[in-house]
Amino acid sequence: MGRAGPRVTLDDIRDAAQGIEGVAVRTPLRLVPSLTSVAGVPVYLKLENLQPTGAFKLRGAWTFARHLEPAARRRGVVTYSSGNHGQAVAFAAQRLQIRAVVVMPETAPQHKIDGVRRWGGEVLLAGMTSEDRFGRAMELVESEGFTPIPPFDHPHIIAGQGTVGLEIVEALPEVAHIAVPVGGGGLIAGIATATAALRPSARVTGVEPEGASALNAALAAGQPVRLNRTSSIADGLLPLAVGRVTFSHVAELVDAVKVSDRAIAEAAVWLYHHEQVLAEPSGAATTAALRSGVLRPEGPLVLVVSGGNMDVGAIEALSHE
C-alpha cells in the first residue's frame, strides 16, 4: 500500500480536543426512544450538525490551521471541498486572520457556497469531481504559495475529527457500537482511533451511499481503490477513494455498510419531522442505515449526524425523492 504517513495517537486527539476548546462545540448525545424501540438497544444521536459551521469538519480544519507557522499564515491557505470542509476552513482562517480560497464543484449547492463566503472565504468553482477540485487547488499552491488544507487525508485532520470519538466515549463509557458516515474517511479514522484506545470492545461501522462505496471497496481489496465514478444525494460522501492515511487507521478497526439514496432521503425527512434535527443527506446516512435495516446494531449505539447544512425547503423536497 505504500507509506501512509504517521499514525495518529490518542495523545494527538487529546491535544486536538484542548485546541478546539472555545472554537468547536462539544456536541450532545441525544437518546432517541423511537429508534431505541426499533433497534432493541439504546440509540443515541451525536449531533455534529450543531457546530458553528453546521458540521464536524470544523474540528479537523481548526486543528490543521492552528499548527500553521507564521510564514504560512501570511501566504494564506487553499482547500478543495464540496462544502462543509470549505466552510470550516473559511471559519478557521477568518478567526486566525488568514486568507482562504476554497475550490468547490460547479454543482455545489448555493447555500454551501454562501456559507463559505459568510466566513470570509473566497470561492472558485472547478469541475465536478474531487480530483478536479484537487487539481485546481494544487495550481494555486504553485502560483500563489498557499498551504493546502486537505479535507481528510492528513494526521492533523484525523486528530481533530477524532475528538468526536473522544467525546462519545467520555459521555457514554458503555458505548458498544458507533456508526459513522464515510466520504474520504477522516471522521471514521479519528473516531476509530479514539475508540480503539478507550473502548476497544466497541464496534465502529462506516456508512456509505450505494453509489459511493469507496470504503467498502477498500476493505474488500485491502487498500484504497479508486472508483470510476460516485453518485448520491449525499454530496459530502462522494470522494472517488478513501485516503491512504485514513485507510491505514481503519483497515483493522472497522466494518462498513451501504445504504440507498431512497433510505437516506427518508431518514433526513424523518429526523426533521420526528426529532427536529436538521440533517443534510450525508449526516442522515447513519440513521438511514439503521432505519432501513442494513445496520445490525449492538448497543448502546451512537449514530453520528455529521452535518446539517441544508435548508428546510430542501428537506421537504427530499420527501419526493
The CATH number for 116's domain is: 3.40.50.1100
Whole-number pLDDT of residue 318: 78
Q: What is the pTM of this model?
A: 0.94
Pair (167, 250) in one structural domain:
yes
CA distance 199 to 202: 6
Split into its structural domains, the chain has a count of 2
Whole-number pLDDT of residue 175: 98
Domain boundary residue among 97, 121, 148?
148
Whole-number pLDDT of residue 160: 98
| Residues acting as catalytic residues | 57, 306
Domain boundary residue among 123, 148, 173?
148
Pair (239, 258) in one structural domain:
yes
Q: Which helix (H) or strand (E) holds 256?
A: strand 254-259
Q: 266 in a domain, yes or no?
A: yes
CA distance 240 to 212: 7
Amino acid, res. 96: L
Q: Which helix (H) or strand (E) holds 85?
A: helix 84-96
Alpha carbon separation from 91 to 13, 65, 149, 282 (Å, rounded): 21, 10, 13, 21
The string of DSSP letters for 180-247 reads EE-SSSHHHHHHHHHHHHH-TT-EEEEEEETT--HHHHHHHHTS----S----S-GGG--SS--HHHH
Whole-number pLDDT of residue 96: 96
In sequence order, the 6+-apart residues with CB closer than 8 A to the CB of 223 are 1, 247
Domain boundary residue among 103, 126, 148?
148
Q: 274 in a domain, yes or no?
A: yes
Q: 4 in a domain, yes or no?
A: no
Pair (105, 185) in one structural domain:
no
Q: 5 in a domain, yes or no?
A: no
Q: 3 in a domain, yes or no?
A: no
Pair (42, 140) in one structural domain:
no
Residue 307 is classified by DSSP as B
Whole-number pLDDT of residue 1: 35
Q: What is the mean pLDDT of each run of 10 residues along the chain (321 residues)?
A: 70 98 97 96 98 96 97 95 91 96 89 91 88 91 95 96 98 98 97 98 98 97 95 92 96 97 96 95 98 95 94 73 57
Pair (181, 287) in one structural domain:
yes
Closest listed residue to residue 237, CA positions, set 253, 255, 259, 220: 259
Residues 111/310, Cβ–Cβ less than 8 Å: yes
Pair (132, 194) in one structural domain:
no
The string of DSSP letters for 34-68 reads HHHHHHSS-EEEEEGGGSTTSBTHHHHHHHHHHT-
Range of the domain at 103: 58-148
Amino acid, res. 32: V
Whole-number pLDDT of residue 2: 39
Pair (91, 188) in one structural domain:
no
Q: 304 in a domain, yes or no?
A: yes
CA distance 24 to 230: 30
Closest listed residue to residue 256, CA positions, set 247, 264, 269, 268: 247
C-beta neighbour count of 99 within 10 angstroms: 17
Q: 47 in a domain, yes or no?
A: yes
Pair (182, 306) in one structural domain:
yes
Closest listed residue to residue 177, CA positions, set 41, 314, 38: 41
Pair (214, 309) in one structural domain:
yes
| Opening angle at CA 55, ends 64 and 279, nearest 5 | 165
Pair (110, 206) in one structural domain:
no
Residues 285/307, Cβ–Cβ less than 8 Å: no
Pair (237, 298) in one structural domain:
yes
137 grid coordinates: 487547488
CA distance 30 to 23: 22
Q: 205 in a domain, yes or no?
A: yes
Pair (140, 205) in one structural domain:
no
Residues 193/8, Cβ–Cβ less than 8 Å: yes
